[in-house]
Amino acid sequence: MLKMIKTFNKKEWILVFFSFVLILGQVWLDLKMPDYMSTITQLVQTEGSQMSEILKNGAFMLLCAFGSLLSAIIVGYLISHLSSTFSMHLRAKLFKKVESLSIHEIKQFSTNSLITRTTNDITQIEMLIGMGLQMLIKAPVTAIWAITKILNKSWQWSMVTAIAVLVLLSVIAVLMVIVLPRFKIVQKLIDQINGVMRENLTGIRVVRAFNAEKYQEEKFAQVNDTLTHQQLFNQKAFSILSPVMYLVMNSLTLVIYFIGAYLIKDALMADKIGLFGDMVVFSSYSMQVIMSFLMLAMIFMMLPRASVSASRINEVLDTKISVKDGTNEGNTEEKGTVEFKNVSFKYPDAEEYLLQNISFKAKQGETIAFIGSTGSGKSTLINLVPRFYDATDGEVLVDGINVKEYKLEALYNKLGYIPQKAVIFDGSVNFNVAYGDNGKDKSEEQIKKAIEVAQASDFVLKMDNQYETHLASGGTNVSGGQKQRLSIARAIARNPEIYIFDDSFSALDYKTDSILRKELKKYTKNATNLIVAQRIGTIMNADQIIVLDQGKCVGMGTHKELLKNCEIYKQIALSQLSKEELENGGK
């Protein structure tokens, strides 16, 4: 938590300073009022006192109360501004950090947990700063100041007040020990709630199709009940604090007056009025001390959960980025070349290599295809080009330069990536196709041409608002094939040097697939194409086909060459097409 407070910028520290000054003024005004009350008490008890003096001291009390109120309002505004601004910057910092993490690092946290950390966890810290910071400043200042004012009044009263404070501190300490570990459980349960909700919303069609609504409800209820019971325990534990506080406060007042009655009874007549005034003042100040610890108790109620949230956020912010930015701006003599030199790869926490000793070179304008059984490492291999992961051994070169030397933005500007699972963002067709231009403006003609080449014009033009038709997040209002074509159009609109198709034609029918590839070849004749595919028909005309099996390259060549000298490729081909179709080029 302290680590986050240290990140306050200059403006935020200025707000803290002004709030501190105003709180000091507020405390001084609050503690000045009992002095005026004592004076008024003595004036009332003294014969010959002037009403004007009583009214004068009463007016000063009212001014102190008004000044304290005004200070509280200003401080509330400043702290609210501080907390909301801080949470805004922290949320942006966390979001930026998550964007810089590699796929492996994101998987370590899970999507559900990252959502909770970006929302609920930051809200907990914002609440602590908004409500707790002014109490954190005011409570100790008030307590210390009030104690200095009552120390010389009576040792009996001081001792009683000290006992009351010790009782309160003991109760708070016990509650902290009991509740703090349980707040960690609460945040993890919120992660699980998010996970179940996301799973249910993402798979809502499957849930309904299989009549699994009741099962999902029970699954959610189980996590929800666990969270509710945990929260109920925490709230019940903290609910003990309020009655203990009021019991101590009222008991302290009663004991102070009880002791005061004996002190006044045994005092000389001349001292009785002074003792009575001291008793009234001491009672007020002792309440200020108790209220200070009550404020501290409220902070302790918020602090455990905020502390857990802060550690969860710091866990993300302190994560070391494995994929680091290079320095090369992308100005290269070569264009559109991709080369793998003895590349091997394994996940950081794995023992066995997923890819072993892969070497090939794709020149500008060539089409290189990758095929193999499920789990052979095809997608992992091409994911090394955009640095979703970094090669464990060997080198991946783009335009003759190791990808690790590029600035990530420069590297991505050379690539047009179409993922295996088409991603559609909330927005219009135009917005989705022009998405992520990295400073490259796209004209309306470019967008329309990209949609045309991707064979998406036929269904886009039939939509109500055509290119301005709104697409739902995840593309739930379009089909799988339509999503893939829009995803391909997004890459085409970038006009990159290198296209990466990660099984991006799987949802297309054979006719659309064939037409799209022909148009794509014409439009991207100067670009390099890396294609991962399951269909032989999609890659038959590639300049070079690389066959993978269990992470190893077991064949490399053209379609005809591989049919002759690669048994695995031949088996895959015959499982999809007949001998006659293979001989006729898949026709």
Q: Domain extents for the chain?
A: 2-194+235-317, 333-414+498-508+527-587, 422-495
DSSP string, 59-71: HHHHHHHHHHHHH
Q: What pLDDT, in 10s, does the model give residues 156-173?
A: 777 777 788 788 778 877
Q: What angle do CA 496, 500, 505 make, to 5 degrees?
A: 120
User: Is residue 509 over pLDDT 80?
Assistant: no
Rounded CA gap, 34 and 145, in Å?
13
What lies within 8 Å, CB to CB, of 272 at 6+ separation is: 264
Is the pLDDT score of 565 beyond 70?
yes
Express as a percent the part of the chain with pLDDT over 70. Answer: 88
CATH topology agreement for domains 2-194+235-317 and 422-495: no
pTM over the 0.75 mark: no
What is the pLDDT, as a whole number, of residue 184?
A: 74
Q: Are 313 and 125 in contact (CB under 8 A)?
A: yes
Q: How far apart are CA 54 and CA 40, in angstroms?
A: 6
The larger pLDDT score, comparing residue 189 to residue 31, is at 189
pLDDT band at 439 (very low <50, low <70, confident <90, very high): very low
> Is 71 in contact with 138 (CB distance < 8 Å)?
no
CB-based burial of residue 446 (10 Å sphere; 0-12 exposed, 13-18 middle, 19+ buried)? middle
- Decide if 550 contacts 564 (C-beta within 8 A): no
Q: Which of 225, 512, 546, 495 is CA-nearest to residue 382? A: 546
CATH of 422-495, one of 1.10.10.10, 3.30.450.20, 1.20.140.10, 3.40.50.300: 3.40.50.300
The larger pLDDT score, comparing residue 134 to residue 365, is at 365
Note the pLDDT tens digit of each residue in 326-378. Answer: 777 777 777 888 888 888 888 777 778 888 888 888 888 888 888 877 777 88
Structural domain 333-414+498-508+527-587, CATH architecture? 3-Layer(aba) Sandwich (3.40)
Comparison of pLDDT for 48 and 257, the residue scoring more: 257
Q: Establish how many alpha carbons lie within 13 A of residue 10's alpha carbon, considering only the half-sphere containing its beta carbon.
A: 0
Q: Which two tokens stand for residue 32?
A: 């000045």
Q: What is the predicted pLDDT for the residue at 585? A: 55
Class of domain 2-194+235-317: mainly alpha
Report how far residue 338's alpha carbon sits from residue 178's, in angstroms, rounded to the nearest whole number.
Answer: 59
Residue 153's pLDDT band (cuts 50, 70, 90) = low
| Pair of tokens at residue 43 | 């004036």
What region, left, alpha or beta, does residue 545 occupy, with left being phi > 0 and alpha being psi -120 to 50 degrees? beta
Amino acid making up residue 255: V
Tokens found for residue 164? 């009351």
* pLDDT 10s digits, 384-429: 888 888 888 888 888 888 888 888 888 888 888 888 787 788 778 7
> How do residues 285-333 score in pLDDT, each as one tens digit?
777 777 777 777 777 777 777 777 888 888 888 888 777 777 777 777 7
CA within 13 Å, CB half, 202: 7
What radius of gyration, in Å, describes the C-alpha atoms of the chain? 36
